[in-house]
Amino acid sequence: MNRKYGLGISSPYCFRTLERKLKKESERGWMIDKIGILFTRYKSCEPKKRGVQIIFDAEASEYGVEKSPYSQGLEEYIDSSGWVKACDYFKQKVYYNEDPDAVPIETDEKIKLETIKDSMSVTTFIAVVTIFAFVLLAALFGDGFSGVFSSPGNLDIKVALLLLAMIPLYFLASCIRFQLWVKKSERNLEAGEGLADDTGALIIDWVFIVTAVILFIIFVISTFSAPGGSGEGIKAIIKFVTFFIIVAIGRDAALFVRDKLRESGKTESTWIVYAVSIVLFLILFSLREFLLQ
């Protein structure tokens, strides 16, 4: 077997933890090949120690056909420095070097911190919008939600609402954790040390993941155990699972089209990538609704 898969859970700025993990995988004979929404993919390689570095490009657009000026300059530099790009994920780019003691691509951690902060701006904006949307939803339908939880029965609906509420809570916890990491990193740099470790963010990720899995299992059990109500519940479960599958397929298709356009020398065709992904989303979601009628 020359490929294997693992969970792709990582906060956007957890580069130190990811670098440590990828170094260990390299020693075991696995090199990262793709970082997806839910899973990561590895390809087999010679087991040995390698240098690994995660680079952030604040100007990068994952679906953009034309590369950012920073990316272009970086790739010109690494051509002669022994670093090879393994994959990228949103603003992150993963590089390997056969020499474990190779000179890092980036050496100024103050600049790296500013780049990470710039890279997280879009994520922070999405988080704020999501939190605001759920606060507005709670304000409009708060009485209905409280009525559901105060009445007996309806365990499946209660658990479903809790799962829904975990989304803004996760964003809120992640934003707070990121700001704390930034402040600690700034203090470390003032003291002549490196950027702060990011393990705390991954702990938050896993706490929410485990909680969500437990709630989902309870939702499935309560749905099947409800007398005469399993039909709609099963559809809800299928919709929940297939949503992530469709998003993953759409992202992979968009990246495939992007790479093909880049290889052909196109520089102003990003709209084609978005058009393909939107059309594919519409087709898959429509097909799902048709099959679940």
**What are the pLDDT digits (tens) for 241-279?**
888 889 888 888 888 898 888 888 877 788 899 998 999
Q: Distances from the Cα of 177 to the Cαs of 10, 182, 212, in angstroms?
A: 14, 9, 19
> Which residues are 93's β-sheet partners?
55, 88
Determine the Cα–Cα distance for residues 233 and 225; give it in Å rounded to an integer: 10
Give the domain ranges of the chain.
3-106, 120-226, 238-293
Q: What is the pTM of this model?
A: 0.82
| Amino acid of residue 284 | L
Quick one: how far is CA 78 from the chain centroid? Answer: 26
More confident of the two residues 263 and 179:
179
The pLDDT of residue 206: 85
Q: Are 163 and 215 in contact (CB under 8 A)?
A: yes
CA atoms within 13 A on the CB side of 112: 20
Q: What is the mean pLDDT of residues 221-235?
A: 71
Q: Are 182 and 117 in contact (CB under 8 A)?
A: yes
Sheet holding 92-97, edge to edge: 51-56, 92-97, 83-89
List pLDDT tens digits, range 10-60: 677 888 888 888 999 999 999 998 887 777 889 999 999 999 999 888 888
| Amino acid of residue 222 | S
**CB neighbour burial string for 21-33, b if at least 16 within 10 angstroms, e if fewer:** bbbebbeeebbbb
